[in-house]
Structure 1
Amino acid sequence: MATKHFMLPAALLLAGCLRSTPTREPWTNDASIGFPQFFEQPAIEAGTVELSGSVLRALEVAADDFLGPQDANTPCVDRRETHRYRVIQRQGILFIRIDEDPQACGLTVPALHSGAQYAVGSDGRLLRRLRDGEPDESRVPTDAGPGILVPTSEVGRSFDPPDGSVPLPFIAPSADAGKYYE
């Protein structure tokens, strides 16, 4: 009789294990995709907006990645409705900028690193993500030029006070390991 009571829970447990777990679609962070200047032009805030299905899907992909799953216990600053979204469409790629709207939660300033930029293909694939505070790998540092070579004899040398004026207090004249030389 006792085994009958354990059969149903065991069957339910096994059935749950057989169910496939949802997986994120694989993506590569394609640093060759450069993000546009989202604040170059003022955003259009209109009472009536028409979104295509691909734009809505791209917004969902970006919001899911940035904010994660939502439920009744999700804190205010992590809720989708307390963020601002800017969308720019160029060459089959939807560029999305997500920023926290602190006023929606009764705050005056947003948290540090509370935004992100996304590039989503028209097919809904996440092509690139750049969260605030992360280095932008698409920007190649510019060359500062040849620079000034420092002779080996000058490396680590303390310099004389400027203009031969009053010696700086932290530079003892000809001091070496506590011994003074004349």
Structure 2
Amino acid sequence: MATKHFMLPAALLLAGCLRPTPTREAWTNDTSIEFPQFFEQPAVEVGADGGTVELSGTILRALDVAAADFLGPQDANTPCVDRRESHRYRVIQQHGVIFIRIDEDPQACGLTVPALHSGSQYAVGSDGQILRRLRDGEPDGSPVPTDAGPGILVPTSEVGRSFDAPDGSVPLPFIQAPNLDVGPGVRHGP
């Protein structure tokens, strides 16, 4: 009899576990989209000196989508460094794509320097879909390889050779002191 009373609550609990977990909005990673240089020109700060600023709804939605993807859900328990208001946002609109750069603002949380890899770049379409995301520290993945310029040919006979002085003029210190042990400077041998 006691088993029947627990069957319904147990079934409801299990049914709740079968629901798919909510995921962030789907996005594509179109590596053909190149991000602009966000710091190439000085930005106009919104709200500086009481000036009037107008944002379109499309840009506001793109900012919201990018911030939600980068920082996740927000509530009263969200740490200061993960809050939306603790970040700086740069926006460039080009060819119907809204490019957004998000960086941590350490001063907002009483810090002096931002955390390593604490920023991200987004390309958001006018429909609010994330077209490309590149977080700091991630490889760019662009199809265009970066060229390091003309290389210096090294003869095969010299590959891996490191026992000569770099410029050939002064021998390296560890070559000058043969038979020196790794201890307190005690020499062994003749």
In structure 1, C-alpha distance between the alignment counterparts of 2:60 and 2:89, rounded to whole Å: 11
- 1:67 alignment partner, one of 42, 67, 71: 71
Residue pairs, 1:21-100, within 5 angstroms: 21-47=21-47, 48-100=52-104
Q: Which amino acid aligns with 1:162?
A: G
How far off its partner does 1:53 sit? 2.1
- 2:136 alignment partner, one of 117, 120, 132: 132
In structure 1, C-alpha distance between the alignment counterparts of 2:90 and 2:159, rounded to whole Å: 53
CA deviations 1:116-141 (Å, max 9, x no partner) are 11111111111111111222222522
Which residue number in structure 2 is paired with residue 144 of structure 1? Answer: 149
Which residue number in structure 2 is paired with residue 103 of structure 1? Answer: 107
Q: How does the TM-score come out when normalised to structure 1?
A: 0.77
Identity over the aligned pairs, expressed in percent? Answer: 73
Please report the RMSD computed on the Cα atoms of aligned residues, expressed in angstroms: 3.0
How far off its partner does 1:32 sit? 1.2
> 3-state SS of the aligned residue for 1:170?
helix
CA deviations 1:45-104 (Å, max 9, x no partner) are 233332222212211211111111111111100011111111111111110011111111
> 3-state SS of the aligned residue for 2:174?
coil
> 3-state SS of the aligned residue for 2:175?
coil
How far off its partner does 1:152 sit? 2.2
How far off its partner does 1:40 sit? 1.6
Q: Which amino acid aligns with 2:141?
A: E
How far off its partner does 1:154 sit? 6.6
Q: Cα gap change, 1:157/1:96 in structure 2, threshold over 3 Å: closer, same or farther? A: closer
In structure 1, C-alpha distance between the alignment counterparts of 2:122 and 2:25, rounded to whole Å: 15
Q: Cα gap change, 1:106/1:150 in structure 2, threshold over 3 Å: closer, same or farther? A: same
Greater Cα offset, 21-30 or 108-117: 21-30
Q: Cα gap change, 1:102/1:169 in structure 2, threshold over 3 Å: closer, same or farther? A: closer
- List alignment gaps of at least 5 residues for structure 1: 174-182
> 3-state SS of the aligned residue for 1:55?
helix
Which residue number in structure 2 is paired with residue 177 of structure 1? Answer: none
- 2:168 alignment partner, one of 152, 159, 162: 162
Q: Cα gap change, 1:23/1:150 in structure 2, threshold over 3 Å: closer, same or farther? A: same
Which residue number in structure 1 is paired with residue 187 of structure 2? Answer: none
